[in-house]
Structure 1
Amino acid sequence: MPEFRMIDTGPVRIRTAVEGAGPLVLMVHGFPESWYSWRHQLGPVAAAGFTAAAIDVRGYGGSDKPTDVADYAMEHLVADIDAVAEALQPGAPAILVGHDWGAPQVWNAALTRPDRFRAVAAMSVPHTGVPSRPFTEVFRQAFTSKERFFYQEWFQEVGPAEAEAERDVRDFLRKFYYAISGDAPPGTWPTKAAGASLLEGMVDPDPFPAWLTAEDLDYYVAEFEASGFFGPISRYRNHERDFAWLQSFRDRRIEQPALFIGGTKDPATMGFGAITDPIGIMRPHVPRVEGHLLDGCGHWTQQERPEEVNRLLVDWLGRLG
């Protein structure tokens, strides 16, 4: 196990798993995960000569859990990343790595604080520039207005989504992880009417795919049984705040060296069916991006394909200079 440190960012304390010594590589997880989603990367990145660190995002695991929805706005999460990086490597720009919601966090950290972050790698979610409208407008036009279910609409109201997830954490995680993994056959993520709950029609596989062991699932279950889901789900309730914050950066690109790794079966990589070339769509906004698509890989990139991800990530880190 890595060393755990509690880092005080000012507003919150962030639990951070740390391994190795050298230039800082700071890893940021997505939903519904924790520092543990980087368990396969910490050792290899540290062995390559870096300080490998992975945080619990505020609201998760061992980090503090603020009680207001607005506390989970992107601006605050980027500030947490900056503060943790400064605490671990004072005065020197860090390298960022993110997955799922961690990907927008590291993209936006690199975009808004280029003096603090010298390179950025992201998995699953491409950077398509500063948004021209809040994402709530996008998914309501594409899904809700057509009476189609979209999970982020289900997450908007405080209460029902948390109750569903917390009723049986193990059941929730098994179904959610499986539904968008590369192992799930087409249709496992069900098409249903607006107003349904997330778990309606979801499948609990038996056996579960080998990339997540029983012990891995036990760890995640214990973390969420202790933390609850208010903080993690509240990330989805800040689209309007995030949109407003980012507007002052509309003319800016991410100029740092960048790496993107996605899966051909990941709905987030493929824009929920709206993107055919996720790497190409990034280039106007991230001109120095190096992109890789893993054939057949689902949403849980670095957990489903740890050896491929580690090879690509360590190679890219070694070429940064």
Structure 2
Amino acid sequence: MKKQEIDKLALSTPFWVEAVLTVVRAQQNANLWWCHEQSQCTSQGSSESDPPVSLPLILLLHGFPELGYSWRRVLAPLSEARKGYHVVAPDLRGYGRTGQGNAPFHVLNIVEDICALVKALGHESVALLVGHDFGSPVAGHCVLAHPALFKSVVFMSAPFIGVERPQLEGTSHSHGDESAKDKPISTLVHAVATSLAALSPPRKHYTAYFSTQHANKDILGETQEDLYNFLGGYYHMKSGAWDGNATTHPLPSASIPSPTIEQIAHDLATLPEYYVMPLHEDMQQLISRHARQNPGFTWPQEDAEAGRVYASEFARTGFQGGLNCYRCALSPPPPERVDELIVLSGRRVTIPAAFISGARDWGVYQTPGAVDKMRQLCGMEDEDFVLIEGAGHWVQQEAPEQVITEISRFLAKAEEKAA
């Protein structure tokens, strides 16, 4: 596929995004919503007219294991910033009410979903695209594939370091003493798997675990109460409230020009167990073990109801849709996507870009060298790389006021530059 063909893709509406679009059409009097309920959308703000297409559009993309609901604390304030925005936070493919099919989940298919949603909303461009956690690489692929559609981007909690050039058939992942610094996580996970398993005690990368056939069953547990407790423990362990996240820092191999696979594996093993797990333990067992040792591994009182929302929804849908995104990320791309990925792998982010995360989020540093590579890829200014003190991985839920402030500041600057 030629570059011009990728730039001018005529995107149809995939069937798996129809549930989201049905919600949008049903709520044409809402200024903003999170596309979560199939019959109606939980919304804030309203007008007597059709969707406010005259207002600039902000799209908020959630991560794993989350929903559009994770943006509940920032939706209304963002819609009221400056002259007003049309703010939408959809459930992504495989989550919530978007359909129960489990394939295909390649990131470029999700990019098509986002573009179809923009079209269905009646907008010709997106003033700001925000991606948190797994939504960050989705946002990155969106702005590389369609730079004219998206005017600015914010990556949250997961540095975006570009598109990995597809490996040619017959080649293998790097092994031995070859440096893996700055490699995308998909390449890094394969490269260090043997070295992690050889450690004492043996370890494995969480994305490799999430790609297994049994991960969905493990995480769901036996009852919805099990699931509620698991999610509460998982959210707590990755939040700023857990002491294990108090002293995040770049891994030593990030400052080594050509670290070996063994050096990187040794560094990764110093990360919390939710990122580099015991080899013979699943995620449910890991969280349960920590919860037994720490009664605080549960939902804080102010988020107890949110925990019920997540548990109820994931008990209904399971996690397989989201987990399939990890599986796709660690697998060779579909043949029909190879040409597109080759083109995208040579592109830089040319629109204004920012990064926001909690200062207590190890996700910022889990891939050695990722922060520097992201800043180079995007030409990111110092003031637009923001770590919010006290917050962990779920930064838009833990520190919504600070997130709103930083997004509003960045958006104002981006719009002034474009004027």
Provide the TM-score with structure 1 as the length reference: 0.87
Offset of residue 60 of structure 1: 0.7
> Is the contact made by 1:180 and 1:189 (CA closer than 8 Å) also made in structure 2?
no
**How many residues end up aligned between the 2 structures?**
308
Range with greater deviation from structure 2 (164-173 or 128-137): 128-137
Give deviations 1:276-298, integer Å, cap 9, x for gaps. x82x4322210145211123321
- Evaluate the alpha carbon distance shift between residue 223 and residue 305 of structure 1 in structure 2; reply closer, same or farther with a 3 A threshold: same
> Is the contact made by 1:179 and 1:189 (CA closer than 8 Å) also made in structure 2?
no
Q: Equivalent residue for 1:319?
A: 413
1:10 maps to 2:19: no
Range with greater deviation from structure 2 (59-68 or 236-245): 236-245
Helix, strand or coil at the partner of 2:74:
helix
Q: Tell me, in whole angstroms, the C-alpha distance in 1 between the residues paired with 2:318 and 2:312.
A: 10
Q: Equivalent residue for 1:153?
A: 208
> Is the contact made by 2:350 and 2:378 (CA closer than 8 Å) also made in structure 1?
yes
Task: Decide which structure has the larger Cα Rg and report it.
Answer: 2
Q: Equivalent residue for 1:238?
A: 328
Q: Equivalent residue for 1:200?
A: 285
Q: Tell me, in whole angstroms, the C-alpha distance in 1 between the residues paired with 2:410 and 2:301.
A: 24
- Evaluate the alpha carbon distance shift between residue 124 and residue 236 of structure 1 in structure 2; reply closer, same or farther with a 3 A threshold: same
Range with greater deviation from structure 2 (288-297 or 72-81): 288-297
Q: Which amino acid aligns with 1:54?
A: A
- Evaluate the alpha carbon distance shift between residue 41 and residue 213 of structure 1 in structure 2; reply closer, same or farther with a 3 A threshold: same
Q: Equivalent residue for 2:168?
A: none
Offset of residue 59 of structure 1: 0.9
CA RMSD of aligned residues (A): 2.4
Identity %: 30
Runs of 4+ in structure 1 deviating by more than 6 angstroms, as ranges, are none
Q: Tell me, in whole angstroms, the C-alpha distance in 2 between the residues paired with 1:291 and 1:166.
A: 36
Task: Spell out the pairing of 1:128-167 with structure 2 (5 A cutoff).
Answer: 128-131=161-164, 135-147=185-197, 148-158=203-213, 160-167=214-221
Q: Tell me, in whole angstroms, the C-alpha distance in 1 between the residues paired with 2:233 and 2:342.
A: 36
> Is the contact made by 2:118 and 2:124 (CA closer than 8 Å) also made in structure 1?
no
Range with greater deviation from structure 2 (117-126 or 207-216): 207-216
Q: Tell me, in whole angstroms, the C-alpha distance in 2 between the residues paired with 1:35 and 1:144.
A: 36
Range with greater deviation from structure 2 (289-298 or 161-170): 289-298
Offset of residue 134 of structure 1: 6.4
Offset of residue 67 of structure 1: 2.6
Range with greater deviation from structure 2 (196-205 or 29-38): 196-205
> Is the contact made by 2:63 and 2:133 (CA closer than 8 Å) also made in structure 1?
yes
Q: Tell me, in whole angstroms, the C-alpha distance in 2 between the residues paired with 1:214 and 1:192.
A: 27
Offset of residue 211 of structure 1: 8.2
Q: Equivalent residue for 1:32?
A: 65
Q: Tell me, in whole angstroms, the C-alpha distance in 2 between the residues paired with 1:281 and 1:135.
A: 13
Q: Tell me, in whole angstroms, the C-alpha distance in 2 between the residues paired with 1:157 and 1:96.
A: 31
5+ unaligned residues in a row in structure 1: which ranges? 1-7
> Is the contact made by 1:45 and 1:314 (CA closer than 8 Å) also made in structure 2?
yes
Offset of residue 14 of structure 1: 4.5
Q: Tell me, in whole angstroms, the C-alpha distance in 1 between the residues paired with 2:194 and 2:399.
A: 33
Q: Equivalent residue for 1:46?
A: 79
Give deviations 1:162-191, integer Å, cap 9, x for gaps. 111112321221222122111112286366
Q: Tell me, in whole angstroms, the C-alpha distance in 2 between the residues paired with 1:93 and 1:136.
A: 29
Provide the TM-score with structure 2 as the length reference: 0.68
Range with greater deviation from structure 2 (285-294 or 126-135): 126-135
Q: Which amino acid aligns with 2:390?
A: G
Q: Tell me, in whole angstroms, the C-alpha distance in 2 between the residues paired with 1:100 and 1:65.
A: 22
Range with greater deviation from structure 2 (31-40 or 187-196): 187-196
Aligned with residue 287 of structure 1, among 379, 400, 416: 379
Q: Tell me, in whole angstroms, the C-alpha distance in 2 between the residues paired with 1:192 and 1:259.
A: 30
Helix, strand or coil at the partner of 1:314:
helix
Offset of residue 110 of structure 1: 0.5
Helix, strand or coil at the partner of 1:67:
coil
Q: Equivalent residue for 2:247?
A: none
Q: Tell me, in whole angstroms, the C-alpha distance in 2 between the residues paired with 1:248 and 1:74.
A: 15
Q: Tell me, in whole angstroms, the C-alpha distance in 2 between the residues paired with 1:78 and 1:256.
A: 17
Offset of residue 265 of structure 1: 2.1
Give deviations 1:108-161, integer Å, cap 9, x for gaps. 100111111111112101111222576443113224433122211112222x11
Q: Equivalent residue for 2:273?
A: 189
Q: Tell me, in whole angstroms, the C-alpha distance in 2 between the residues paired with 1:206 and 1:228.
A: 26
Q: Equivalent residue for 1:81?
A: 114
Q: Which amino acid aligns with 1:189?
A: E
Helix, strand or coil at the partner of 1:36:
helix
Q: Equivalent residue for 1:301?
A: 395
Q: Equivalent residue for 2:361?
A: 266
Q: Equivalent residue for 1:227?
A: 317
Range with greater deviation from structure 2 (196-205 or 117-126): 196-205
